[in-house]
Structure formats: C-alpha cells, structure tokens
Chain A
Amino acid sequence: KNEVEQSPQNLTAQEGEFITINCSYSVGISALHWLQQHPGGGIVSLFMLSSGKKKHGRLIATINIQEKHSSLHITASHPRDSAVYICAVSGNQFYFGTGTSLTVIP
C-alpha cells in the first residue's frame, strides 16, 4: 500500500498544452511537496504547500486538505518541462509517490 499515489504514471503532451498531474495521499501531513527530477537524477523542489494554491511562472500547485488531494498544473507546456514530477508528503516522515513521467513534444 502506497501512502502517496500519483496519476498518470506517464504523460505525453504537445507543446502548448495544459497539463495536470494528480496526487492523493492517505496519511496526516504537515506539508505536501512537488519535486521535479530531470534525466541524470537531480531533484529540484518546485513547491511546498500546506493549504490553498501556489504559482511559480507557468506552474500552479493546489491542495485540498479535506480530500487529501493535490494537483500540479503546467500551462503552455514546453519541451524543457519534460521530466519526472514527484509528489511527496511530510509529517512525521517523508513519503514519496512513484512519479509522473512527462514528455512534451515540440
């Protein structure tokens, strides 16, 4: 049983499309994180949120604490957005989803 579930596992989009990646979790948390992992392995923290919504450029993250659900949206997707996006939650410890592999085609 995974404490963090992401969908879809794989996603291919055309450049310019609006993309949504979903994350559901089953444990109590103090924060939810969206991470980006590029080929080669480096991980970058995109968002850390505990309520509401955050926006950085073309990326938007939302969280619904009651429903234990978060979404990551990418507007006007670009090939450089191609990466694995990982949802993680933190409370007493960190739990990670298996990631969503996104490929944006020019």
Chain B
Amino acid sequence: EADIYQTPRYLVIGTGKKITLECSQTMGHDKMYWYQQDPGMELHLIHYSYGVNSTEKGDLSSESTVSRIRTEHFPLTLESARPSHTSQYLCASSSTGPSYNEQFFGPGTRLTVL
C-alpha cells in the first residue's frame, strides 16, 4: 500500500479565500505531481517536482502555486479561490529507481468553491 497522504479530503470554501492542499509521502520519492480531475474527465497535470527546490508547471495552466522545501512534502496553494477551481486534486509521487515510471496516488482532495 502506498504511503502518500492528502489533507483535507473534502473542502468547501467561499470565493476569495486562500487555501493550501497538503500532500506528503513517506517513500522517499524524488518526483511528486499534482493533478486536477473534473468529474468524468481525464487527469491533467498542473504541477510537478523532481526534487527539493524544483517545481515546474504542467500541461494545464493553473492559478495555483506549489513549493518543495522538503522531499516528503509538496503543498499546493490557491491564493484566491474561485468557483472555477472546483475540482478534485490528486497528488502522486514516483521514485527514480527501476520502477521510476510507476506513480503512487494519494486519496485526493475534493474542493468546492462557492
């Protein structure tokens, strides 16, 4: 079983609030990812990191930001939430070893912005 955690699991907030979605993994993986998934749609990569102090934007433009100060922690922040940010956010990690392509996913955060 993968050791990757996300909090909160569910969040309902008002427009304009600043929020941080937490993601932590205890597997020592260098690579971490944030995906956004709308109901019935495919996952879209919004941010990724290949190690501490490394962050990149994914193929889906996002108004969120990320940081990677510690290997195990990859939080995602929305400075001012809007209804268009309502979605599910999935965090994942992978190693750089022989199974470097295999991603382990967290349980997801379902965000609703009113």
Contacts and interface: CB of A to CB of B under 8 A. Distances in A.
Contacts of B45: 93-94
A99 B90 CA distance: 15
Contact of B101 (A30, A44, A99): A30
B17 to A, nearest CB: 22
A40 B101 contact: no
Contact of A48 (B41, B92, B102, B108): B102
Chief secondary structure at chain B's binding surface:
loop
Contacts of B2: 44
A96 interface: yes
Contacts of B88: 41
Contact of A44 (B41, B42, B43, B105): B105
Interface in B40-89: 40-45, 59, 88
Contact of A98 (B41, B90, B106, B107): B41
B82 to A, nearest CB: 21
Contacts of B104: 45
A65 interface: no
Interface in A32-81: 33, 35, 40-45, 48
B110 A90 contact: no
Interface of B: 2, 33, 37, 40-45, 59, 88, 90, 92, 99, 101-108, 110
12 contacts: A31-B102, A33-B101, A33-B102, A41-B88, A41-B90, A41-B108, A42-B107, A45-B105, A48-B102, A86-B43, A88-B43, A98-B40
